């Protein structure tokens, strides 16, 4: 307070309005790729490189390996930020897998997929949609899960080296993470280098479609049943009939594998993760991640302030306001934050600790629709009435 003499009133302007929580950005792709002829300055090995849109990097991506093909597949679907980590091709496939998995080397540098963990520090963005198109062997898929968990991201991978439905189902048994969706079989597209139809980098197409869906519909919308452009066919036979039970598509989806179908264009078909309990749907996992990070990051400004009752009420109000906003947007069915005295002991609060509860309900996808059809004669009365009316006219 000023000690200078003043005969009148002083105005001191402050702001004590609750902070508005900002939803975290989700439409950012992160992937590893090979390209022995790429521009080494634009794409240094084992280094996260931010492309503000996929087409930006194509001119310097070379033609060998997976980098250019992955960027092209994504660019055909969406314009969004991408974090690319180029890895070296090994002397054999096993060595390439090791390079893609990555590690922390003797100099403390993160390599391969592990380099995505440093993307936010190096580029300012956090990749939320992960993959390794064309490189996703079982060890790479395992590494994708590990990195996805740490980044609160979601990963897509193919059922590596699986040629039959039975192979794919057996492969699926090796995973149990909510952060992973497995795809089988592959789309086919026209290969302009070989001048023939060839297997597409299906994972790259999934990454692009996921990012586009986040932009257009939201992270609460599953990848399934959205047309994918630029597809010529499917690499293996998958029996699909929307009105018939027990098809190949049903068997794959039931096992937790997203398959590919042709119905008014080509589409991914399936919404399930590799979890079989609470987070069975892709949208459930991504909702949990987005809500956790949105609220967790959003309360940063409240830390270290004096813990008066007004501060706690403001904090609860800010969280509830965000949950209501997400509900109005259709991203949640509902949510609520509250203070539970039983979780806040006097000693804990005196030590600067505060515990708040909040809950939410994600929006489930409509996976199984039953339409009940009944044969009835009740409308014969309408026919009789119509005939009688015509005769009386």
- Could you give the CA distance from residue 154 to residue 115 in angstroms, rounded to a whole number? 16
Q: What are the structural domain ranges in the chain?
A: 29-284, 299-362
Q: Residue 5 pLDDT more than 90?
A: no
Q: pLDDT category, 10, cuts 50, 70, 90?
A: low
Higher pLDDT, 22 or 355: 355
Closest CA to 69 of 128, 134, 136: 134
Higher pLDDT, 90 or 17: 90
Q: What pLDDT was estimated at residue 15?
A: 52
Closest CA to 207 of 294, 147, 270, 128: 128
Q: Residue 16 pLDDT more than 90?
A: no
Residue 161 DSSP code? T
User: How long a stretch of residues is the chain?
Assistant: 393
Average pLDDT over residues 63-85: 95
Higher pLDDT, 1 or 161: 161
* Signed CA dihedral, 223, 227, 233, 237: sign only: positive
Strand partners, 337: 358
- Could you give the CA distance from residue 323 to residue 333 in angstroms, rounded to a whole number? 10
Mean per-residue pLDDT over the chain, rounded: 94
Cβ-based neighbour number of residue 341 at 10 Å: 7
Q: How many helices (H) and strands (E) does the chain have?
A: 11, 14
Q: What pLDDT was estimated at residue 41?
A: 96
- HEC readout, 88-119: CCCCCHHHHHHHHHCCECCCCCECHHHHHHHH
Average pLDDT over residues 377-389: 92
Closest CA to 20 of 314, 245, 374, 344: 314
Helix axes 282-298, 309-328, angle to 10 degrees: 150
Max mean pLDDT range (8-12, 20-24, 208-212): 208-212
- Could you give the CA distance from residue 158 to residue 253 in angstroms, rounded to a whole number? 14
Residue 129 contacts residue 157 (beta carbons within 8 Å): no
Give me the percent of the chain exceeding a pLDDT of 90: 88
Classified as helix, coil or strand, 170 is helix
Q: Residue 49 is inside which H or E element, if any?
A: strand 49-51
Residue 16 contacts residue 302 (beta carbons within 8 Å): no
Q: pLDDT category, 160, cuts 50, 70, 90?
A: very high
Burial class (CB in 10 A: 0-12, 13-18, 19+), 292: middle
Q: What pLDDT was estimated at residue 55?
A: 82
Q: Residue 204 pLDDT more than 60?
A: yes
For 100, list phi and psi in degrees, rounded to 5: -70, -40
Report pLDDT digits (tens) over 234-278.
999 999 999 999 999 999 999 999 999 999 999 999 999 999 999
- Could you give the CA distance from residue 379 to residue 390 in angstroms, rounded to a whole number? 17
Report pLDDT digits (tens) over 266-320.
999 999 999 999 999 999 999 999 999 999 999 999 999 999 999 999 999 999 9
Average pLDDT over residues 157-175: 97
Q: What pLDDT was estimated at residue 227?
A: 96
- Overall CATH class of domain 29-284: alpha beta
Q: What pLDDT was estimated at residue 354?
A: 96
Average pLDDT over residues 155-169: 97
- Could you give the CA distance from residue 105 to residue 134 in angstroms, rounded to a whole number? 24
Residue 78 contacts residue 36 (beta carbons within 8 Å): no
How far separated are the first and last CA of the chain, in Å rounded? 95
- Could you give the CA distance from residue 276 to residue 256 in angstroms, rounded to a whole number? 8
Q: pLDDT category, 194, cuts 50, 70, 90?
A: confident
Average pLDDT over residues 49-56: 89
Average pLDDT over residues 177-194: 93
Q: What pTM value is reported for the model?
A: 0.92
Report pLDDT digits (tens) over 133-143.
999 999 999 99
* Signed CA dihedral, 79, 367, 162, 273: sign only: positive
Report pLDDT digits (tens) over 98-146.
999 999 998 899 999 999 999 999 999 999 999 999 999 999 999 999 9
Average pLDDT over residues 210-232: 96
């Amino acid at each position: 307070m000023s000690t200078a003499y003043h005969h009148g009133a002083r105005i001191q302007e402050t702001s004590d309005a609750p902070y508005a929580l900002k939803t975290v950005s989700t439409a950012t792709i992160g992937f590893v790729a090979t390209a022995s002829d790429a521009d080494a300055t634009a794409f240094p090995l084992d280094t996260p490189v931010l492309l503000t849109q996929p087409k930006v990097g194509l001119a310097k991506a070379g033609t060998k390996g997976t980098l250019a093909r992955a960027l092209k597949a994504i660019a055909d679907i969406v314009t969004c930020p991408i974090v690319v980590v180029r890895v070296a091709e090994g002397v054999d496939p096993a060595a390439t897998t090791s390079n893609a998995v990555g590690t922390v080397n003797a100099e403390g540098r993160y390599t391969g997929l592990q380099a995505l963990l440093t993307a936010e520090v190096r580029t300012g963005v956090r990749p939320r949609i992960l993959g390794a198109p064309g490189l996703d062997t079982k060890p790479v898929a395992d590494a994708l899960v590990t990195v996805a968990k740490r980044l609160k991201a979601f990963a897509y991978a193919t059922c590596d080296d699986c040629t039959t439905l039975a192979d794919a189902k057996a492969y699926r048994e090796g995973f149990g993470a909510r952060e992973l969706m497995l795809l089988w079989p592959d789309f086919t597209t026209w290969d302009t280098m070989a001048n023939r139809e060839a297997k597409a980098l299906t994972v790259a197409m999934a990454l692009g479609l996921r990012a586009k869906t986040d932009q257009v519909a939201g992270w609460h919308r599953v990848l399934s049943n959205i047309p994918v452009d630029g597809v010529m066919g499917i690499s293996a036979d998958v029996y699909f009939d929307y009105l018939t039970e027990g098809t190949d598509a049903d068997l794959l989806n039931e096992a937790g594998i997203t398959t590919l179908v042709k119905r008014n264009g080509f589409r991914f078909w399936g919404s399930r993760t590799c979890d079989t309990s609470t987070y069975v749907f892709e949208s459930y996992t991504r909702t949990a991640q987005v809500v956790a990070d949105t609220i967790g990051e959003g309360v940063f400004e409240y830390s270290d302030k004096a813990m008066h009752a007004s501060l706690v009420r403001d904090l609860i109000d800010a969280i509830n306001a965000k949950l209501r906003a997400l509900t109005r947007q259709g991203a949640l069915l509902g949510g609520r934050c509250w203070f539970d005295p039983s979780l806040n002991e006097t000693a804990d609060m005196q030590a600067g600790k505060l515990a708040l509860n909040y809950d939410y309900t994600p929006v489930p996808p409509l996976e199984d629709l039953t339409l009940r059809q009944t044969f009835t004669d009740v409308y014969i009365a309408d026919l009789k009435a119509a005939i009688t009316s015509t005769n009386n006219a």
